[in-house]
Amino acid sequence: MRLTEKRRQIKDSNERELEQVIKEERKALFSLRHEMSAKQLANPKRIKEARKNIARALTVMREREIAKEKGQA
């Protein structure tokens, strides 16, 4: 999946889907770190991508939380 497609998917996701993305990426990050320590990681760039995808999802969740607070105030 291309980077722009991943960004669009994260922005268009609902709350549960975002939580699922975070959970999946954290599991992937854990296994990638394990592979790296065992010297079996084929693509080290994947670790960076997983961390950034987690950050993107958390950012979108926070933006929505702030928007809700502004709407209520």
Per-residue pLDDT of the chain (73 residues; tens, 9 = 90+): 676 888 888 889 999 999 999 999 999 999 999 999 998 988 999 999 999 999 999 999 999 999 999 988 6
How far is it, in rounded angstroms, from Cα 29 to Cα 46?
A: 8
In the prediction, which pLDDT does 73 show?
63
N-term to C-term CA, the chain: 39
In the prediction, which pLDDT does 1 show?
62
In the prediction, which pLDDT does 6 show?
81
Domains of the chain: 3-72 (1.10.287)
In the prediction, which pLDDT does 4 show?
80
User: Do 49 and 6 meet the contact criterion of CB atoms below 8 Å apart?
Assistant: no
The model carries a pTM of 0.86
